[in-house]
Structure 1
């Protein structure tokens, strides 16, 4: 019998640790959770880790409670590329949490992660926010309203909720238009009542406030944006991405828009090209170290 030998891995290179169900806040007795993907060395010798840029991911959920693990298998690649990755939940709009609850929660999670940067080897000055569908709507709004007092809870008051860059995939940018486009979808009327309340006279203003397209202010500094959208999307019309991209560009904002030919909402949208373009964008904005440790 031959006994083979291999070399040990003292720095745990290439190993990724999943830290599940971290409570980042409690609102009205409800625990709000996030999960983290970090280098495995974080568990044993976190002080040896260089601070890494943070990628915060918000899964689409029709503004209900996101599934934390939906994209974790795909997000692991960004830990190998030098990031710490967090995927976050927010309150459920149809359980009595109207707009702007989901936006407040995303911002609170960002401040929590900055407050615990040393624990997770995060560089608090390099934060990228990525959202899909309703999560993309939240990501765009967060990018456009950094440290806006309207959406700031009391949690972690010393921390910023502004981000360095935003990625949004098939995101609603004009909420009124989305509800008209998908008006035949079961539950869309209920969702509007849950998001905007019973007084329909208030809906137009609330829908504009929740629409990133109408939140771009001339002369204000914004982070760079990377937008993706499928041109066969049957939930959020493709033109919304182009409208958003033009509006950002007209305001002097750094924006890149990507049309995914033949892609519907979620489903066949995803491909290696999407993840590679996102990685290139992140690399260009926050320059994560490619050194595994």
Structure 2
């Protein structure tokens, strides 16, 4: 498959304005991570497991598809792009929409090329998207809308792309994991226009890799200093909920913080997709209990939810720090087959 293209800048600042913060500048890294309950989870030790290999099936690739033109906080147009991998199959392929991480600060659709290709070679069309982020004045509402818009575009062009829009899943990592959890529980309901529900934005399954859920407790498992770093207005959680320039902490805006929590939307969900949640026990950026509280809430609402805990695993490959070695637990064949098996069960069944 072609090498990933060089990503375009996510945000171009006015030269007279301060440069927007970058993920490595605003992400807090815990010095300790408390153990969380694994009694309702599948525990996997990825140490020594073989890595995935590619080449099992021919893939076709489309790059830089503009799926929507949104606006930033100043009303400037923001073209949003996606890349699409489609396996060589006789029938339209089930769709998996991949939403990358980036600390709510960047959204590089080129991330995770090997694991995306592995899922595509398993028989799924995999679309990877850009979405609006904090430097563009975005809050969680606009970013979730971008996920919905990507689903609408793919469904509108299903025949052209060779995808089966009756079988659709979301898959996200880190910030993307949070966004797919939100989009999944909303089931097509809009946060920008609560009176609107679009069935073209609904999905059958969600894969959430180490995503947050209750942003007010994102550091709950961490050392006191890291917890304290999330109490003000200048952390990524507060900026993503209230806006980059709001000057408000999550405690200052409890209603917005509740709206930003996928668990708050479970009671109003007419139906819930199946969920697969995965987290590492050594994640220093998003507390492992974040996927646990979502998993337990989903199960309490009768949803099909499975949580997998990877012993000793950190926060993916920490792409914002260019540290790929730490991501090896997430690209083992065992870990990735948990994802592809879940997708087969929920989309092929």
TM-score normalised according to structure 2 size: 0.70
Return the alpha-carbon distance in structure 2 between the equivalents of residues 158 and 171 of structure 1. Answer: 24
Quote the offset at 1:190 in angstroms: 5.0
Deviations, residues 188-218 of structure 1 (Å, cap 9, x unaligned): 8153235413263762221221122332217
4+ residue segments displaced more than 4 Å: 179-183
Q: Aligned residue for 1:277?
A: 338
- Number of aligned residues: 265
Q: Aligned residue for 1:10?
A: none
**Mapped pair 1:83 → 2:124:** yes
Q: Aligned residue for 1:30?
A: 78
Unaligned runs of 5+ in 1: 1-12, 42-48, 289-293
Return the alpha-carbon distance in structure 2 between the equivalents of residues 249 and 195 of structure 1. Answer: 26
Deviations, residues 25-84 of structure 1 (Å, cap 9, x unaligned): 00121100100001368xxxxxxx411100110111111231111112221122222111
**Mapped pair 1:167 → 2:207:** yes
**Mapped pair 1:252 → 2:297:** no
Unaligned runs of 5+ in 2: 1-55, 72-76, 318-325
Moved more, 30-39 or 144-153: 144-153
Q: Aligned residue for 2:58?
A: 15
1:190-201, aligned counterparts within 5 Å? 190-191=235-236, 192-193=238-239, 195-197=241-243, 198=246, 200=248
Partner SS for 1:100: helix
Quote the offset at 1:110 in angstroms: 0.6
Q: Alpha carbon RMSD of aligned pairs, Å?
A: 2.5
Determine if contact 1:167/1:226 at 8 Å carries over to the other structure. Answer: yes
Cα distance change of structure 1 residues 125 and 199 upon mapping to structure 2, 3 Å threshold: same
Moved more, 31-40 or 254-263: 31-40
TM-score normalised according to structure 1 size: 0.83
Determine if contact 1:94/1:195 at 8 Å carries over to the other structure. Answer: no
Determine if contact 2:219/2:287 at 8 Å carries over to the other structure. Answer: no
Determine if contact 1:16/1:40 at 8 Å carries over to the other structure. Answer: yes
Q: Aligned residue for 1:178?
A: 218
